[in-house]
Chain A
Amino acid sequence: MPKFFLNKRLIILLVSIMVLVALIGFSLKERNELSWMEKFVKDTVVFMQSIVHKPAQFVAGFFENVNDLRHTYEENKRLKEHLEQYVLLQSEVESLKKENERLRELLNKKESLRDFVAIQATVIGRNPDRWEETLIVNKGSQHGVKKDMAVITPQGLIGKVRSVSPFSATVQLLSAKNRQNRISAFIQGDENVFGLIEGYDEEREALLLKRIPYDAKIEKGQRVFTSGLGGIFPKGLFIGEVEEVVADEYGLTQIAYIKPAANFYDIDDVIIVKRKIEMSQEEEEQ
């Protein structure tokens, strides 16, 4: 037995397992900021990655272009149909916007939860081990990105910023399994119904909107938006459409399956969204 413990290699192995467990525990802890070393390493890697990324994307883009060309005719036809509706919609939006502004002035309420500043960013990498779906984007704290900000594509909400370093940020997708991934949302209808997006059903590829009051009447196809009540997210970012509503395990609330509007796979460019209201509050504090 003493010989067993004198074995140098075994001791090294045991010590490194202990260090491993400690490090994993350390990284699982909710951290508000990465250590400077992590930030430095990340930015260096992201810098190199953006160099390698361009030719790689060029090659991939070539095949995509060929594919696009094949569908151009059909797409063109469909877009023309949409265009007519679009003109109508636009004039409606304009008049509503003006009315909204006028009413706001009457109320002397200048800011709304809906106002936001957009930061454009390019996706240059994705977590290759694919357990946790995260993206790496090329904008960081130097560009005004902060932890927990909402990240959208033109189709809809895709996730939130998980960690920031000066020149890059990691975006956690809505499909990631993480209990901290909680978003306050509402279902648009005659009467808006509020709930929390908690979790993702991998098999159905749907988000779970929980804590909906049991007596709320929800139909399939209703649209779901962020409510802006959770803190950092602005109001009115499109999340998806209701697919099915079921009672939860205790029958006290309902759970809605939401089909996300954005595609979580084919993402090249994203918009990081900075809410205006919060900024002004911060300025007041300063």
Chain B
Amino acid sequence: MSRLFLPSLVTVIFLLESIIVQLVSQPLFDVYLLVPRMLLVFIVFITIFIGQTEGMMYGFIFGLLYDVTYTELLGAYAFAFSLIAYLIAKAMNVLHKNAWTASFFAIVAIACVEWYVYAIQLVIGGTTMSVSTFFQARFLPTLFIHTIVILLIAYPLKQTLLKWHEKRDESSPV
């Protein structure tokens, strides 16, 4: 596995978020608005299994890319992603690193980001969605889908990241 493996993997995930939304943009059953948050899941896993610096770096860079290309609301995601990476890194000082804690933190992170962006949109007047509509039509379905996906990919993703990390440490001259 080359050094470029992880950056390119995260880039592809970043690009796919937008493409998937474009291909399947119809709300599910005309009610549920699903939001892809796989990029955030990757950032959480990178923070836990590779390191705080990498996690915050990926969070900031890809958050900023997200802001510039997709939402045109500069800073919102860059701040959220790097803060989440930082807080999770601090929490991991006292917790065991395994697939379960990583999945748990990934789900918590998605929940936090959803509420955070909703709050920003409410403040700047970008939406008039009521809290109950947001909770039922957007928040719960998104969280539900991601919980399933995270439980499916948590273990393989952890193994891949650890392997890449080991390989990189071996190859890099210290």
Judge: A and B partners, yes or no.
yes
- With A41-B68, A125-B19 as known contacts, state yes or no: A177 contacts B73, CB within 8 Å: no
- With A52-B12, A56-B16 as known contacts, state yes or no: A123 contacts B22, CB within 8 Å: yes
Among the listed B12, B21, B27, B76, which residue makes an inter-chain contact with A128, where contact means beta carbons less than 8 Å apart?
A: B21
CB-nearest residue of chain B to A60: B23
3 nearest interchain CB pairs? Answer: A23-B75, A125-B18, A126-B22
CB-nearest residue of chain A to B72: A27
Closest CB in chain A relative to B119 CB, distance in Å: 11
A125 touches B22 (CB 8 A): yes
CB-nearest residue of chain B to A203: B133
Most buried by A among B15, B19, B77, B118: B19
Give the interface residue-count category, chain B.
35 or more
Among the listed A13, A48, A131, A265, which residue makes an inter-chain contact with B127, where contact means beta carbons less than 8 Å apart?
A: A131
Contact with A along B14-36 (1 / 0, CB 8 A): 01111111111111000001011
A135 and B17 CA atoms in complex are apart in Å by 13
B126 at the interface (CB under 8 A from A): yes
Contact with B along A80-123 (1 / 0, CB 8 A): 00000000000000000000000000000000000000000001
Contacts of B124 in A (CB 8 A): 24, 28
A6 and B151 CA atoms in complex are apart in Å by 42
Q: Count contacts on A: residues with CB < 8 A to the other chain.
A: 46
CB-nearest residue of chain B to A131: B121
A20 touches B72 (CB 8 A): no
B120 at the interface (CB under 8 A from A): yes
Closest CB in chain B relative to A261 CB, distance in Å: 17
A17 and B71 CA atoms in complex are apart in Å by 19
B75 touches A41 (CB 8 A): no
Contacts of A41 in B (CB 8 A): 65, 68-69
Contact with A along B56-81 (1 / 0, CB 8 A): 00000000011011111111110100
A235 at the interface (CB under 8 A from B): no
Among the listed A27, A128, A136, A202, which residue makes an inter-chain contact with B36, where contact means beta carbons less than 8 Å apart?
A: A128
- With A20-B76, A41-B69, A129-B70 as known contacts, state yes or no: A52 contacts B15, CB within 8 Å: yes
CB-nearest residue of chain A to B90: A9
A222 at the interface (CB under 8 A from B): no
Among the listed B23, B36, B69, B77, which residue makes an inter-chain contact with A56, where contact means beta carbons less than 8 Å apart?
A: B23
B117 at the interface (CB under 8 A from A): yes
Among the listed A17, A19, A46, A129, which residue makes an inter-chain contact with B117, where contact means beta carbons less than 8 Å apart?
A: A129
Among the listed A13, A57, A170, which residue makes an inter-chain contact with B72, where contact means beta carbons less than 8 Å apart?
A: A170
CB-nearest residue of chain A to B70: A127
A56 touches B19 (CB 8 A): yes
